[in-house]
Chains A and B, each alone.
Chain A
Amino acid sequence: MADEKKPGLFEKGGKLYWLHSSIDAFDTFLRVPGTVTAKGAHVRDGIDLKRVMIMVVIALVPAALFGMYNVGLQTSTLYGLNWSFWHMFFYGLLRMLPLFVVSYAVGLGIEFASAQIREEEVNEGYLVTGFLIPLIVPVDVPLWMLAVAVALSVVFVKEVFGGTGMNIWNPALVARAILFFSYPSSMSGSSVWVSKTWAGIPEVDAISAATPLAIAHDGAFDAATGAVGPYSFMDMFWGFIPGSTGETCVIAILLGGFLLVWTGVASWKIMVSSIAGGLLVGWLGQLAGATALPCYYQIVMGGFLFGSVFMATDPVTAAQTETGKWIYGFLIGALAVVVRLWNPGYMEGMMLAILLMNTFAPLIDHCVVSAHVSRRAKKALNA
């Protein structure tokens, strides 16, 4: 019997084969696979999706770190607690840590299970999604709600389509949309943006702290000082305002955006055209009297910039043709500000603008490619 070859524990036929995708994921996480090329080009570039995805995570780190600080800062300021810098930072870190843990545990759990069912390798896409989700929700969102939203989003937006690379909508944004429409009282209004939990503040003493976007929506813009309610333009630029944790600091987002553009992971065309679209519609809105805000306020308020840099540029759900990227980005920026300005009840348009354009990205590409095909046909006739 000694010469009878038994399958290994995790190989097909082995007892723990049902775990092989997970084992493989950890194994290839630690060591580059020893697979050699079988057909096609005999040599390959060192790049792989793990590296691409980790670049996005690194790009998100400045926004996340600032977000942690800002969580503490907002609580400290609003309730007059006079915390030190490190106190604020660690408060924010401890508040955000559970969000990361839940987001990764639920999302990666489903990802591993689906990979196992499909008998494929585990995809790296969720490394980014799982990091994005805590950055685009209010920090006090109940963890069970987050878990439900992540699970629904990963299963129905990603896995049913076939996993990373096959999805139509950005799963992180859909998770946010699910939260937004299912649990509006925890996701919007003026009392959710500043963390109270763990700060020793009883629920009854909660002070409302609206985001600048909401304040501006209610018309409290002081044209003389340029301030929106209690927040000056520079407050909004540096990010010392209430909001979703990762979205407030322009500098932190631009740092990440610079890394994404530098490494070529995200398209600068989408970022630039989205901001251009937002500025244009913001300016038209000002001319038409829909708002008193100068157009560049639209960029620094709310999730506009974070969405343009990190969410709209997801290569899977964005337009894939270079011309299409200009159109896609521009429409996202324009639509987001249209929603902000001409909508009575709902002040943030970025999430829905991106999801809508995710839906239309294939159509944009179809038009670009069709135009290219007919131009080629014409050229061939004249050749």
Chain B
Amino acid sequence: MSNNLDLKKGLNIPMQGVAAPEVIKTVVPDIVAVKPTDFTGFSPRLLVKEGDAVLAGSPLMADKQRPEILVTSPVSGTVAQIVRGEKRKLLAVLVQADGKQACADFGAKAPATADETRELLLRSGLWGALIQRPYGIMADPQVTPKAIFISSFSTAPLAADTEFTLGKSFADIQAGVSALSKIAPVHLSIRKEISASTPFHKVEDALIHEVSGPHPAGNVGVQISHIAPIRKGETVWTVSPVLVAAIGHVVNTGKLDLTRKVAITGPGANRTGYVVCLPGTPVKEMTATFGDAVRIIGGDALTGETLGENGYLGFFQDQLTLLREGYEREWLGWAKPFRPQVHSSSWCYFSWLTPGKKYDMDTNLHGGPRAFVETKCFEDVTPMDIFPIYLIKACLAGDIEKMEKFGIYEVLPEDLALCDYVDPSKNEIQAMIQKGIDLMIKEMA
């Protein structure tokens, strides 16, 4: 059975540097970093010390409040270093890989009940793959969600093509979906344009939704708000397709394998394509770096995290975006009739004349911060039944009641990332929404 969801509002960002569908290299890293900061709402308690030998799948840390939640090592080797920041905050555990990739055995058996699935995910360290909505935090093992959502595709700028990265992992995806469906009904969305050819179409134990439209149609949050809007007190879990495959792999083989194809993208990359590696792989081993001139982002250009050339790929990331830093100052930029190098979705410029053109974008803000003036542009890129500007203002005011009314339970910053992009007043919309969500977590706890 499949349902249709046709979205009209939104914007595909026409950026150069889409990943060529080929594997450039396979990285077998020397050092792998496991970062507790990847998991929102996880407060780590260290279970290992420097020099300890670990297997792929051995626990490295547990949650302080819910000790059953484990974060495990993606490689076998020895714990090389515990990295701490200010106030001794745990930033990363660096594991020196031994190259053997010996795995802990979790037993190759398809879970028959919800409890068996939970237990497997908790033991293998894949519990962290489950993200709870509202708020976008790590799921609570005590809670049963009303649904689990998986978006098989991403519409984010230059996102990894899941047809290429996961097309051959069908057995793992099916096993992952089946295991998750023991906990709650699984909704899987696929891109309508390729619904006949995509292997995701054949997945069983899930409700299939065919989704079409520009970004953010591929965002799972947008899909939830149309398919099963979250009411106060309800929770929905979401899982990225890459991690569904990892869950399925544990079910099928009993071994934790987080290996993924990571898209190297962006106008700043000297070679685009896919790199096969583990989360926690040093960025330097994945792509050529250019010092301060190019920003290396884990994830896409709208929502990604700046990793820097000494950073490590995050647990959830399957894309690196390389963008030149836009320090150059353009003479009379705003006053020129034509600016062919700069994309604008606004018809105040002439980008509409060249709809197929891809732009060499950089990180320049293209203006200075101002008060809100034009606000219709937010609605034009938000295909959800909310008034973005009122939600944003409620978040700024810290008004819990209004945030609830205006739909804070349904959004994460990523769903309003395009508002950042289109705003002529250059407001930081994602940061404002995150501030509102943080307040909700604090007040509703």
Residue ranges of A at the interface with B (Cβ–Cβ < 8 Å) = 28, 30-37, 39-52, 54-55, 121, 123-125, 162-166, 262-265, 267, 315-316, 320-322, 369, 372-373, 376-377, 379-380, 383
Contacts and interface: CB of A to CB of B under 8 A. Distances in A.
Interface of B: 13, 15, 157, 228-229, 231, 295, 297, 301-304, 306, 321, 323, 325-335, 339, 342-349, 351, 361-377, 379, 385, 387, 389-390, 405-407, 413, 417-418, 420-426, 428-431
A265 B406 CA distance: 26
B301 A41 contact: yes
Contacts of A373: 405-406
A8 to B, nearest CB: 17
7 contacts: A33-B368, A34-B327, A43-B301, A45-B343, A47-B422, A315-B374, A320-B375
A121 B365 contact: no
Nearest first, the 8 closest Cβ-Cβ pairs linking A and B are A48-B367, A165-B371, A32-B333, A41-B420, A46-B342, A46-B344, A31-B329, A50-B334
B335 to A, nearest CB: 7
A37 B372 CA distance: 18
A346 to B, nearest CB: 32
B231 A32 contact: no
B407 A48 contact: no
A47 B420 contact: no
A104 B430 CA distance: 36
Contacts of B363: 36-37, 42-43
Nearest to A48: B367
A33 B421 contact: no
Contacts, number: 194
Given A47-B346, A47-B367, A369-B390, 10 more contacts: A32-B364, A36-B362, A36-B365, A39-B428, A43-B421, A50-B367, A55-B348, A316-B373, A320-B376, A373-B406
A43 B15 contact: yes
A362 B122 CA distance: 50
| Interface class of chain B by DSSP | loop
B342 A267 contact: no
A125 B370 CA distance: 10
A114 B210 CA distance: 53
Contact of A45 (B297, B372, B390, B422): B422
A46 B344 CA distance: 5
Contact of B430 (A39, A163, A265): A39
Nearest to A320: B375
B343 A46 contact: yes
Given A31-B333, A50-B334, A316-B373, A40 B348 contact: no
A336 B87 CA distance: 64
A185 to B, nearest CB: 37
Given A36-B325, A40-B429, A376-B385, A48 B334 contact: yes
B12 to A, nearest CB: 13
B371 A162 contact: yes
A49 B335 contact: no
Contacts of A121: 368-370
B430 A40 contact: yes
B420 A40 contact: yes
A303 to B, nearest CB: 24
A265 B374 contact: yes
A373 B406 CA distance: 7
B342 A37 contact: no
Contact of B229 (A28, A40, A55, A380): A380
Residue from B330, B373, B428 whose CB has the most chain A CB atoms within 10 Å = B373
A117 to B, nearest CB: 16
Contacts of A32: 329-330, 333-334, 364, 366-367
B428 A43 contact: no
Nearest to B331: A31
B371 A166 contact: yes
A47 B327 contact: no
A265 B348 contact: yes
A41 B421 contact: yes
B202 to A, nearest CB: 29
Contacts of A123: 370-371
A318 to B, nearest CB: 10
Contacts of B332: 30-31
B364 A34 contact: yes
Contacts of A264: 346-348, 376-377
A20 to B, nearest CB: 13
A44 B420 contact: yes
A134 to B, nearest CB: 22
A378 to B, nearest CB: 12
Contacts of B351: 46
Contacts of B422: 45, 47
A52 B373 contact: yes
B401 to A, nearest CB: 11
Contact of A52 (B13, B339, B407, B424): B424
